[in-house]
Amino acid sequence: MSMQKLSNVSTILKKELRSYFSQPTAYILLVVFLAISYFFYFRPVLISGESSLRPLFNILPWILMFLVPAITMGLLAREKDNGTIELLSTQPITNLDILIGKTLGAFIFIAIAILITLTIPLTLASYGDFDWGIIISQYIGTMFLAASLSAIGVWVSSITKNQIVAFVLGVAINFILIFVGFEMVLLSLPNPFDLILKNLSIFDHFYNIARGVIDLRDVIYFILLILIFEFLAYISLIKNKGGNANKKYKKLSNIIVIIVIVALGVNLSGGYIRGRIDITSGKIYTLSKSTKKILSEMEDEVTIELFVNKKMPAQISASVQDARDSLNDYKKNGGDKINLKIYYPDEDSEAEKLAASRGIPTVQFNVIAKDEFQTKKGYFGLVAYSGVGEDKKQEIIPFIEQPGALEYKLSSFIYNSSNEQKKKISFLSGHGELDLYQEMSYLNSEMSAQYEMEPLILTETEASPNSNEQNVSYKDVPEDVAALVIAGPSQPISEAELGKINAYIETGGSVMVFARMVESNPQFLTATTTDSNINLMLNEWGVEVNKNIVYDLQSNETVTLQGGAINYIIPYPFWVKALKNNENPAVGDINSIVIPWGSSIEILENKLKPDTEINPIFTTTEFSRDQENIFNLDPNQNWLQDDLDSYIMAVSIQNYFEGKNSRVIVAGNSLFATQDFAMKSSSNMVFVQNAIEWLAQDDILSSIRTKKLSRAPLIFESEAQKNSVKYFNMIGVPILIAIIGVIVMWLRKRRMKKKFLLT
């Protein structure tokens, strides 16, 4: 671009920006935009308590759908209506200069409006751990969206003199580009038209970037969209000069048809376009270092067979693409050791037979056929296997529900397939502990592929040959047990058994203790202490679990209560959202876990063994208290707010005596590890799995498992602090913009008055 052209564009750009910021309408639009954005952000985020901007970027496309046409509707329509477009044509300024200058002016104004919302993460950063990579990606995606909508607005403004018509038409086109990607629309269309519309939806491409991945496919989509509408606007200006007979207009019309066809072809063949940058802080959309290490060290070849419909319904096409991208990364990093095969059973009868033989079932998808909803069978599963004959090992994923979990399943299979013998994880039984096959069934099913999971009873009874009495003896904890889990004993453990467990730890063993000092009764909203004596063993290692229940007034989960015919949600301080306090591998990227009716843990400094290291790994905030002796679990009670303090909810212990590395993890609760709470908080079960791996000194998979967990919680010191941040953004920022607008208008009026007096 020549210097003269740059000067022309700059002149028009400055003129447009001055016209925006010298009119009260611009400030009114800014205030309305910010007020709506802040309101719809703070309403859900303060309930969920997550450090995330997702609620803001869920609503922004809908706001921009109206805001951008309101800003762009007069860019060219006003010039045409006033007759000034002809005046511009007489100047040494080309139509291209006009288009670029006006589009940039509108985009910069919209970008300023969007960037003002950065006050949200900046004011909340002190109270939560935001993923700034995702935030940057969200703003990049929004800028692409705003630029595209600006280009659409410029074109619409170029084809009419009526600004209202330009606004309505702009909103309509924006709505169509957003709405065509919705499932209700996609389900009403047969394949491949549903895929075509999904690929054309501006919504899908926006959210692909906003999740934290700058994908070349999405970037190309936005660039092509901008170029097409800018080109259409350019043709419209050419037409105004010479009409339909204009040779240049006809030539350009033919070119735009070709460009649109090429753009559609490129967009629809996006599955063959490679290149993306994962800018999330945890690289959650990129193969982890652990996976790459596993792939680099694998000895045997692993075959991965993906069975997927060639004509997949549009509603899960994005998941299919994510899965294919991930598998291609495995192939790239695994080289010749990874044999990747993709089959399409809907087009190949042999592939369909192979899927059945591999144990991949058909699933039902909703499709449209003969003007009515019908179900169609399809495939979206995979099988991975290595070895042959009796040595063959395989992992079957019948349906890939969450492509994000695919890495853990595949990497764990590849890692475990190279291990000839599984390590043994034993669960102590006989003292009221949680049952491995009932309350702990979810953990058992998740870990059984990696470990040999089994209950362990240390007591042996034999009938005495000389009397009716029984002889009781006690077994040692077997040496081949990689980790012993004591999951919530509610009855006393004999001193002999505790001695056996202590001896196991002292010889380099590892133990996880889920203490159950208090038994809660949710039905009657009360609790009682148990007969557990696990502290007799824990005291030997410098810790003690108190017989109390801790509540946290600032970091907690919510519960749903029924008030008559209405259900309402309130925070429940007894369901503590305990925060990470240490970089132990068992914790990894987990920011918090939910501990219901949990007891606090004391560190007994005077009882620490030599060469022992104790670290709190999960704690409450400083706004916590506890109940002892008399327990009231009512969520509507008046919570005492004096003598608030922070409580330890889980600790890790390591002992290095005589070169042995003994490891112990203690948590003041057992319910958080059960199947019911694993469903409520995925972080809970991930922590338990990671803890077992750390105890078994086998934690290479832990970093993979902790990817894509929930955001860190927002923690405020008081309700007043929360309200100050909320109302500063919701009220303060819009008022500040309004004040700036008033000052600018006053200064402009003063300059105009002074200029009039001088003339």
Q: What is the pLDDT of residue 435?
A: 92
Query: Which tokens belong to 715?
Result: 């923690």
Mean pLDDT value of segment 514-538: 93
**pLDDT class of 375 with cuts at 50, 70, 90:** low
Average pLDDT, the chain: 84
Q: What is the pLDDT of residue 730?
A: 92
Q: What is the pLDDT of residue 304?
A: 93
Mean pLDDT value of segment 358-380: 69
Q: What is the pLDDT of residue 566?
A: 63
Tell whether the model's pLDDT for residue 632 goes beyond 90. Answer: yes
Q: What is the pLDDT of residue 88?
A: 60
Contact 72, 105 (CB under 8 A): no
Q: What is the pLDDT of residue 76?
A: 83
In this structure, the answer to whether residues 249 and 121 fall within a common structural domain is yes
Q: What is the pLDDT of residue 749?
A: 81
Is residue 436, in this structure, part of any structural domain at all? yes
Mean pLDDT value of segment 63-82: 86
Q: What is the pLDDT of residue 711?
A: 62
Contact 156, 72 (CB under 8 A): yes
Q: Across 100-109, 283-292, 603-612, which has the greatest mean pLDDT?
A: 100-109
Mean pLDDT value of segment 173-201: 72
- Of 378, 404, 430, which residue is a domain's last? 404
Is residue 514, in this structure, part of any structural domain at all? yes
SS3 of 616-656: EEEECCCCEEEEECCCCCCCCCCCCCCCCECCEEEEEEEEC
Mean pLDDT value of segment 690-718: 79
Is residue 753, in this structure, part of any structural domain at all? no
Beta carbons within 8 Å of 421's beta carbon, 6+ residues apart: none
**pLDDT class of 455 with cuts at 50, 70, 90:** very high
The larger pLDDT score, comparing residue 424 to residue 280, is at 424
In this structure, the answer to whether residues 205 and 272 fall within a common structural domain is yes
423-428 and 481-487 strand pairing: parallel
In this structure, the answer to whether residues 375 and 505 fall within a common structural domain is no
In this structure, the answer to whether residues 135 and 163 fall within a common structural domain is yes
In this structure, the answer to whether residues 252 and 294 fall within a common structural domain is no
In this structure, the answer to whether residues 667 and 576 fall within a common structural domain is yes
The larger pLDDT score, comparing residue 475 to residue 389, is at 475
Q: What is the pLDDT of residue 2?
A: 62
In this structure, the answer to whether residues 337 and 485 fall within a common structural domain is no
- Give percent above pLDDT 70 in the chain: 85
Q: What is the pLDDT of residue 748?
A: 81
Total domains present in the chain: 3
Mean pLDDT value of segment 661-679: 88
In this structure, the answer to whether residues 207 and 298 fall within a common structural domain is no
In this structure, the answer to whether residues 364 and 431 fall within a common structural domain is no
Mean pLDDT value of segment 146-160: 92
- Of 341, 371, 404, which residue is a domain's last? 404
Is residue 755, in this structure, part of any structural domain at all? no
Tell whether the model's pLDDT for residue 272 goes beyond 60. Answer: no
Q: What is the CATH number of the domain that holds 680?
A: 3.40.50.880
Nearest 10 degrees: CA dihedral of 208, 213, 217, 222?
70
Is residue 724, in this structure, part of any structural domain at all? no
DSSP 339-391: EEEEE-TTT-HHHHHHHHHHT---EEEEEEETTEEEEEEE-EEEEEEES-GGG
**pLDDT class of 367 with cuts at 50, 70, 90:** low
Tell whether the model's pLDDT for residue 593 goes beyond 50. Answer: yes
In this structure, the answer to whether residues 255 and 300 fall within a common structural domain is no
Q: Across 3-12, 60-69, 559-568, which has the greatest mean pLDDT?
A: 60-69
- Of 376, 404, 432, which residue is a domain's last? 404
In this structure, the answer to whether residues 395 and 430 fall within a common structural domain is no
Round to whole Å and give the CA distance between 344 and 48: 41
Q: What is the pLDDT of residues 736-758, one digit of tens each?
A: 999 998 998 888 888 777 766 66
Q: Across 45-54, 260-269, 356-365, 572-581, which has the greatest mean pLDDT?
A: 572-581
Is residue 718, in this structure, part of any structural domain at all? no
Q: What is the CATH number of the domain that holds 372?
A: 3.40.30
Beta carbons within 8 Å of 149's beta carbon, 6+ residues apart: 64, 65, 68, 69, 110, 170, 174
Is residue 716, in this structure, part of any structural domain at all? no
The larger pLDDT score, comparing residue 455 to residue 675, is at 455
Q: What is the pLDDT of residue 263?
A: 63
Q: What is the pLDDT of residue 370?
A: 45
Is residue 728, in this structure, part of any structural domain at all? no
| Residue 451: strand, helix, or coil | strand
Q: What is the pLDDT of residue 371?
A: 47
Beta carbons within 8 Å of 60's beta carbon, 6+ residues apart: 37, 114, 142, 145
Q: What is the pLDDT of residue 245?
A: 45
Q: What's the pTM value of the predicted model, to 2 decimals?
A: 0.78
Task: Name which of 313-322, 498-507, 596-605, 654-663 the model is least confident about.
Answer: 313-322
Task: Name which of 336-340, 367-371, 374-378, 389-393 the model is least confident about.
Answer: 367-371
Tell whether the model's pLDDT for residue 559 goes beyond 90. Answer: no
Q: What is the pLDDT of residue 434?
A: 93
Range of the domain at 545: 421-705
Q: Output the CA–CA distances (angstroms, integers) from residue 385 to 235, 301, 332, 341, 668, in the order listed.
A: 58, 9, 18, 12, 41
DSSP 172-203: HHHHHHHHTTSHHHHTTS-TTHHHHHHHH-HH
Beta carbons within 8 Å of 319's beta carbon, 6+ residues apart: 380, 400, 403
In this structure, the answer to whether residues 89 and 220 fall within a common structural domain is yes
